[in-house]
């Protein structure tokens, strides 16, 4: 008789591709816990910035990561653009990543499993995940989505500046020496450039249900 094991769904992809919204919706659909792993890095970046620490100090960043409290993930500003940039900066430090890998793997391996989204879930954190989906979209589409999102919040934003930031962050995340942003060899590519949220959800559930048999 086969041993029951956690069912893990890994959702990876660049910023503003829609992976977070999709992952959270999939978790609700399949009755699985959801972890936005990007919040871990955002929390560290935010903590360091708020305390006036040097974000390029790898040793200090690692110490902050080791002492991270779950309550730190509730900071109201973690989902903002600034925190996203801070996260990308501290994520390049191997000391930070090492401190968080065990936490993420422990979360994923508890029953009944989990949905995790990030940039290296399928390649580093959960290479044995049951389903791996790499969610992407063109830089132009992602910049437009981010611009519209910020405009809806009443902020004055420049599309060209957002596009430049998206491209810069892609280059930084893809070029980092530790766990660079890239799809796992066995990940299914889901391009959401021409899909709305419902379309992306339908495509993802088709992928997952196909893997579940």
Task: Please indicate if the annotation marks 19 as binding a ligand.
Answer: yes
Task: Please indicate if the annotation marks 137 as binding a ligand.
Answer: no
Task: Please indicate if the annotation marks 17 as binding a ligand.
Answer: yes
Task: Please indicate if the annotation marks 14 as binding a ligand.
Answer: yes
The three state secondary structure string of 100-140 is HHHHHHHHHHCCCEEEEEECCHHHHHCCCCCEEEEEECCHH
Task: Please indicate if the annotation marks 15 as binding a ligand.
Answer: yes
Name residue 46's beta-bridge partners.
none
Q: Under 8 Å CB-to-CB from 68, ≥6 apart: which residues?
A: 40, 43, 44, 47, 99, 100, 103
**How many whole angstroms separate alpha carbon 125 and alpha carbon 143?**
27
Burial class, 165, CB count within 10 angstroms (exposed 0-12 / middle 13-18 / buried 19+): middle
Task: Please indicate if the annotation marks 132 as binding a ligand.
Answer: no
Task: Please indicate if the annotation marks 91 as binding a ligand.
Answer: no
| Sheet with 113-118: strands ordered across | 34-36, 113-118, 7-12, 131-136, 188-191
Task: Please indicate if the annotation marks 20 as binding a ligand.
Answer: yes
Task: Please indicate if the annotation marks 84 as binding a ligand.
Answer: no
Q: CA 180, 184, 185, 189 torsion: positive or negative?
A: negative
Q: Are 62 and 93 in contact (CB under 8 A)?
A: yes
Which residues are part of a known binding site for ATP?
13-21
Which residues are part of a known binding site?
13-21
């Amino acid at each position: 008789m086969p041993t029951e094991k956690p069912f893990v769904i890994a959702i990876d992809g660049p910023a503003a591709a829609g992976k977070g919204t999709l992952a959270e919706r999939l978790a609700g659909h399949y009755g699985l816990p959801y972890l936005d792993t990007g919040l871990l890095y955002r929390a560290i970046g935010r903590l360091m910035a708020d305390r006036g620490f040097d974000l390029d100090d790898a040793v200090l960043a690692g110490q902050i990561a080791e002492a991270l409290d779950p309550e730190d993930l509730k900071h109201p500003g973690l989902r903002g653009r600034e925190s996203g940039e801070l996260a990308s900066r501290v994520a390049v430090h191997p000391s930070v990543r090492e401190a968080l890998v065990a936490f993420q793997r422990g979360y994923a391996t508890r029953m009944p499993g989990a949905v995790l989204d990030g940039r290296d879930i399928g390649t580093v954190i959960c290479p044995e995940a049951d389903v791996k989906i790499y969610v992407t979209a063109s830089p132009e589409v992602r910049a437009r989505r981010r611009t519209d999102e910020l405009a809806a919040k009443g902020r004055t934003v420049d599309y060209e500046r957002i596009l430049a930031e998206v491209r810069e962050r892609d280059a930084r995340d893809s070029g980092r020496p530790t766990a660079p942003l890239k799809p796992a060899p066995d990940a299914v590519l889901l391009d959401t450039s021409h899909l709305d949220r419902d379309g992306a959800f339908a495509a993802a559930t088709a992928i997952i249900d196909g893997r579940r048999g």
